[in-house]
């Protein structure tokens, strides 16, 4: 079956080639001044994070104005959601209290800078509160998906043969299921809690990194330094953990950044469908969905602020991912 | 080309069998078993045992899978206790509506995106190119539920041009009886596709323009128009077919959102409603059927690709 791959998805193979950056390199490539402060490790080909490359990467990255803005937006939202509630404390959990002590659907102003929602919760505070869930689920599920996908892809690519065919067929099969249908089937069977949402979103997201890392591993395992380790009697675990995964780290980091944006969007979509973080907690998608139900009444403050939050965070992570990819590629070109 | 198609067909069959196995495994993994899910938390061990015996759930897993597989090939996807109807009947009422929605928006996306991509190449690095690039990045980043919501607010509530939702009895043919209800869902669904297709069309056209045969065509004195439409476009269109096949699962996912935004009675709305009702057989059934439809769609796109590309059509494999 592996022979059919060229015909099966030419575009995807393209992506693999494009992102399969052999960013790791042996000690030959290490910048001079660095080796003084960092004694040579007696192993060929381990990816050492040399300060010179990091500095160059940082240079390329910071040239990209959009990415710098993106990092700023991400930091802003992290502070807004996690520090904000301490600076601007609001009641977000006691629905009873909110119903009695504040007006429902109040327009902005009068102690509620962004108005209130249909339960009388302060929307500015709710954005922080819901943002916590969106960001935590987004970051955590991207992390889980990336780690699992990386290991899966590395094993598949490294061992090759029938195991590789079998593992990749599983990926093909799961990838052919439209992601939201798969997500809803999982949420229906395992009723959603915040922790479970992380697992479920990770379950639909590890497939792409598994493919990317497999492609990367296939190209890495025939490199001279990996073969040298093998000849010297290095174990398979050692080759995968110390040589292949560190050298694929660029691809992994770039993917993880994009995945955070995707995970936040997936959670927002689930929330929008009413299957997000269960009450009394909330997330941005659920907030938007509640706002939309009242769209006919013209309660714009229940729709636009949260919509803008989702779009800004998603675009920010995408710009940062783009810039990371560029900085890794440029480093490649400069070599 | 026969070899290519047979190989591609084999892959599709394996994927479909794999998805069937996957939905079966999912049904096995329901916490408390299918009986608990259907009978509710109050079920006694006796009623559970009765239910299991009646539905063959006390048999071995392998035998159960065989019956499941057998049922699917006879068009039986199980029974919905919420609708009191076979899952197949429930789904078949909805499938054509989703297929109409997806087909209409894919066709519209191609009709808009291909000329847009060409325009960007013809006028590259001119204002129109930058505007189109900026717009496609913007719409690519916009989640489809937000696009749909904004369209409803502006065009349904404010301007009152289009109804908020299609008539509740909307059949696949409602496109012709009340096309206005169809406009916003299709528009929402194709916005993201237009963004990605036109980006791809632009780069594919740029690649084609850099090929040797373009230089040859220019050297033999072909007019600019002929080079562009006779040589570059025909070659640039081929990769779009591949992209189409690959983006089908994402477009179908988008249809699920769009159907829920606009209350459009297709597979996506059915799935979400069944998720609320804990109607697991319907959720698993829609997942299976929509995946098979998607796999067939991608297969068709790849066969078209093979037909359109002489390198594959006339190739030895």
CB pairs under 8 A between A and B: 148
Within 8 A of B29 by CB-CB distance, chain A residues are 189
Is 80 exceeded by the pLDDT of residue B195? yes
- Cβ-based neighbours of A174, under 8 Å, separated by 6 or more: A182, A204, A207, B22
Residue A335's pLDDT band, with cuts at 50, 70 and 90, is very low
CATH of residue B256's domain is 1.10.3720.10
B62 in helix, strand or coil? helix
Both tokens assigned to B272: 């979400």
Domain membership flag for residue B20 = no
Q: Are A192 and A276 in contact (CB under 8 A)?
A: yes
Residue A303 DSSP code: T
Domain membership flag for residue B65 = no
Q: What is the tens place of the pLDDT at every residue in A235-276?
A: 877 877 777 777 778 788 888 888 898 898 888 888 888 888
Domain membership flag for residue B195 = yes
Task: State chain A's mean pLDDT as an integer.
Answer: 74
Ranges of H-type helices in chain B: 2-28, 33-39, 45-54, 61-73, 87-122, 127-141, 144-151, 174-177, 180-209, 212-219, 224-225, 233-262, 267-276, 280-308, 310-313
Is 60 exceeded by the pLDDT of residue B168? no
Residue B173's pLDDT band, with cuts at 50, 70 and 90, is low
Option in A189, A292, A314 nearest B30 (CB): A189
> Could you tell me what percent of chain B has a pLDDT over 70?
87
Cβ of A184 and B157 within 8 Å?
A: no
What domain range is B238 assigned to?
89-313
Look-up of token digits 């001044």: A33
Report the predicted TM-score, pTM, of the whole model to 2 decimal places: 0.79
When divided into structural domains, chain B yields a total of 1
Q: Are A107 and A115 in contact (CB under 8 A)?
A: yes
Query: What is the model's pLDDT at position A83?
Result: 83
Query: What is the model's pLDDT at position A39?
Result: 45
Domain membership flag for residue B24 = no
Mutate to test the interface with B, among A176, A200, A275 (most CBs of B within 10 A): A176
Is 60 exceeded by the pLDDT of residue B152? yes
Domain membership flag for residue B9 = no
Domain membership flag for residue B73 = no
Can you state the angle between helices B180-209 and B87-122, rounded to 10 degrees? 50
- Give how far the C-alpha of residue B221 lies from the chain's centroid of Cα atoms, to the nearest Å: 44
Alpha carbons A60 and A46: distance in angstroms, whole number = 24
What Cα–Cα distance (Å) separates residue A329 from each residue in A20, A58, A153, A188?
A: 10, 13, 22, 42
Look-up of token digits 């490790």: A41
Mutate to test the interface with A, among B23, B143, B262 (most CBs of A within 10 A): B143
Cβ of B143 and A268 within 8 Å?
A: yes
Is 60 exceeded by the pLDDT of residue B269? yes
Domain membership flag for residue B13 = no
Both tokens assigned to A290: 């509640």
> Distance from B308 to chain A by nearest Cα, in Å?
14
Q: Are A124 and A106 in contact (CB under 8 A)?
A: no
What Cα–Cα distance (Å) separates residue A198 from each residue in A180, A283, B168, B301?
A: 15, 13, 35, 34
- Residue of chain B nearest A307, judged by CA positions: B146
Within 8 A of A173 by CB-CB distance, chain B residues are 14-15, 18-19, 22
Is 60 exceeded by the pLDDT of residue A26? no
Is 80 exceeded by the pLDDT of residue B314? no
Is 70 exceeded by the pLDDT of residue B148? yes
Option in A3, A11, A182 nearest B242 (CB): A11
Is 80 exceeded by the pLDDT of residue B181? no
Q: Are B298 and A7 in contact (CB under 8 A)?
A: no
Q: How do B85-86 and B79-80 pair as beta strands?
A: antiparallel
Section A67-80 average pLDDT: 86
- Residue of chain A nearest B16, judged by CA positions: A173
Question: Which has the closest alpha carbon to A331: A63, A146, A143, A66?
Answer: A63
Q: What is the tens place of the pLDDT at every residue in A299-317?
A: 777 788 888 888 888 888 8
Both tokens assigned to B215: 């230089």
> ipTM of the assembly?
0.84
Using CA of residue A57, residue A59, residue A64, residue A69, what is the dihedral sign?
positive
Section B263-276 average pLDDT: 85
Query: What is the model's pLDDT at position A52?
Result: 61
Q: Which region among A20-34, A132-146, B9-23 has the lowest average model confidence (pLDDT)?
A: A20-34
A112 in helix, strand or coil? strand
> Distance from B250 to chain A by nearest Cα, in Å?
6
Is 50 exceeded by the pLDDT of residue B178? yes
Residue A40 DSSP code: P
- Residue of chain A nearest B244, judged by CA positions: A11
DSSP A243-271: IIHHHTHHHHHHHHHHHHHHHHHHHHHHH
Section A43-65 average pLDDT: 62
Domain membership flag for residue B34 = no
Q: What is the tens place of the pLDDT at every residue in B228-252?
A: 887 888 788 888 888 888 888 888 8
Residue A140's pLDDT band, with cuts at 50, 70 and 90, is very high
Judged by a CB distance cut-off of 8 A, whether residue B4 touches chain A is: yes
Residue A40's pLDDT band, with cuts at 50, 70 and 90, is very low
Q: Which region among A93-107, A271-285, B77-91 has the lowest average model confidence (pLDDT)?
A: A93-107
Long-range contacts of A84-92 (CB under 8 A, 24+ apart): A84/A128, A85/A125, A85/A128, A85/A129, A88/A124, A88/A125, A88/A128, A89/A125, A90/A121, A90/A122, A90/A124, A90/A125, A90/A126, A90/A129, A91/A121, A91/A122, A91/A125, A92/A121, A92/A122, A92/A125, A92/A126, A92/A129, A92/A280, A92/A282
> Distance from A47 to chain B by nearest Cα, in Å?
34
> Distance from A37 to chain B by nearest Cα, in Å?
44
Query: What is the model's pLDDT at position A144?
Result: 92
A191: left (phi over 0), alpha (psi -120 to 50) or beta: beta
Is 60 exceeded by the pLDDT of residue B183? yes
Give rounded-to-5 percent helix, strand, coil for chain A: 75, 0, 25
Strand partners, A116: A122
Q: Are B233 and B118 in contact (CB under 8 A)?
A: yes
Cβ of A172 and B15 within 8 Å?
A: yes
Q: Which of residues 193-222 of B touch A (CB under 8 A)?
A: none
Cβ of B274 and A188 within 8 Å?
A: yes
Task: State chain B's mean pLDDT as an integer.
Answer: 80
Cβ of B31 and A295 within 8 Å?
A: no
Looking at per-residue pLDDT, the higher value among A17 and A118 belongs to A118
Option in B268, B276, B287 nearest A182 (CB): B287
Query: What is the model's pLDDT at position A101?
Result: 67
What Cα–Cα distance (Å) separates residue A163 from each residue in A2, A154, A155, B21?
A: 11, 12, 9, 19
What Cα–Cα distance (Å) separates residue B125 from each residue in B117, B129, B132, B133, B225?
A: 13, 6, 11, 10, 19
Largest CA distance in chain A: 75
Cβ of B15 and A186 within 8 Å?
A: no
Bond into A228 cis (ω within 30) = no
Judged by a CB distance cut-off of 8 A, whether residue B50 touches chain A is: no
- Residue of chain B nearest A168, judged by CA positions: B15
> Could you tell me what percent of chain A has a pLDDT over 70?
74
Both tokens assigned to A216: 């990367």
């Amino acid at each position: 079956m592996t022979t059919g791959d060229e015909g099966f998805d030419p575009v995807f193979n393209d992506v693999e080639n494009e992102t399969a950056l052999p960013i790791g390199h042996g000690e030959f490539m290490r910048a001079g001044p660095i080796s003084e402060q960092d004694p040579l490790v007696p192993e060929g080909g381990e990816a050492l994070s040399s300060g010179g490359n990091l500095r160059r990467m940082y240079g390329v990255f910071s040239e990209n104005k959009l990415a710098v803005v993106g990092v700023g937006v991400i930091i802003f939202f992290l502070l807004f959601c996690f520090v904000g509630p301490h600076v601007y404390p609001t009641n977000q959990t006691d629905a009873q209290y909110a119903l009695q002590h504040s007006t429902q659907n109040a327009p902005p102003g009068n102690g509620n800078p962004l108005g209130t929602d249909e339960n009388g919760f302060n929307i500015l505070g709710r954005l922080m509160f819901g943002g916590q869930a969106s960001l935590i689920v987004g970051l955590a599920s991207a992390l889980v998906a990336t780690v699992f996908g990386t290991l899966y892809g590395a094993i598949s690519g490294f061992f090759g043969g029938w195991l590789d065919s079998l593992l990749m067929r599983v990926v093909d099969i799961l990838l052919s299921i439209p992601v939201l249908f798969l997500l809803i089937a999982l949420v229906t069977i395992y009723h959603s809690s915040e922790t479970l949402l992380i697992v479920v979103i990770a379950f639909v997201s590890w497939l792409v990194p598994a493919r990317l890392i497999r492609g990367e591993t296939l190209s890495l395992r025939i490199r001279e330094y990996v073969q040298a380790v093998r000849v010297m009697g290095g174990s398979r675990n050692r080759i995968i953990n110390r040589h292949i995964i560190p050298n694929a780290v660029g691809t992994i980091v770039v993917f993880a950044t994009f995945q955070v944006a995707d995970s936040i969007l997936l959670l927002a979509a689930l929330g929008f469908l009413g299957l997000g973080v269960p009450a009394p907690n909330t997330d941005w998608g659920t907030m938007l969905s509640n706002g939309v139900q009242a769209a006919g009444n013209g309660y714009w403050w229940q729709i636009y602020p949260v919509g803008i939050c989702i779009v800004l965070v998603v675009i920010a992570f995408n710009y940062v991912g783009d810039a990371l990819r560029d900085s890794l590629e440029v480093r490649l070109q400069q070599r | 080309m026969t070899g290519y198609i047979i190989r591609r067909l084999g892959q599709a069959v394996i994927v479909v069998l794999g998805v069937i196995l996957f939905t079966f495994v999912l049904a096995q993994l329901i916490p408390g078993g299918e009986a608990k899910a259907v009978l509710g938390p109050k079920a006694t061990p006796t009623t559970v045992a009765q239910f299991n015996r009646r539905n063959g759930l006390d048999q071995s897993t392998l035998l159960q899978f065989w019956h499941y597989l057998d049922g699917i090939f006879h068009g039986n996807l199980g029974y919905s206790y919420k609708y009191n109807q076979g899952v197949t009947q429930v789904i078949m009422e909805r499938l054509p509506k989703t297929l109409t929605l997806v087909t209409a928006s894919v066709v519209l996306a191609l009709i808009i995106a291909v000329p847009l991509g060409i325009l960007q190449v013809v006028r590259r690095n001119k204002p129109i190119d930058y505007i189109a690039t900026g717009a496609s990045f913007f719409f690519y980043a916009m989640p489809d539920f937000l696009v749909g919501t904004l369209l409803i607010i502006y065009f349904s509530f404010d301007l009152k041009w289009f109804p908020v939702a299609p008539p509740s009895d909307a059949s696949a043919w409602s496109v012709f009886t009340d096309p206005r209800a169809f406009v916003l869902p299709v528009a929402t669904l194709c916005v993201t596709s237009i963004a990605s297709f036109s980006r791809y069309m632009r780069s594919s056209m740029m690649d084609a323009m850099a090929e040797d045969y373009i230089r040859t065509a220019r050297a033999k004195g072909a007019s600019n128009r002929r080079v562009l439409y006779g040589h570059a476009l025909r070659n640039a269109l081929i990769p779009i077919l591949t992209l189409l096949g690959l983006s089908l699962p994402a477009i179908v996912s988008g249809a699920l959102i769009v159907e829920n935004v606009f209350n459009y009675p297709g597979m996506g709305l059915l799935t979400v409603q069944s998720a609320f009702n804990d109607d697991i057989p319907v959720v698993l059934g829609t997942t299976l059927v929509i995946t098979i439809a998607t796999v067939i769609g991608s297969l068709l796109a790849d066969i078209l690709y093979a037909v359109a590309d002489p390198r594959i059509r006339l190739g030895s494999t």
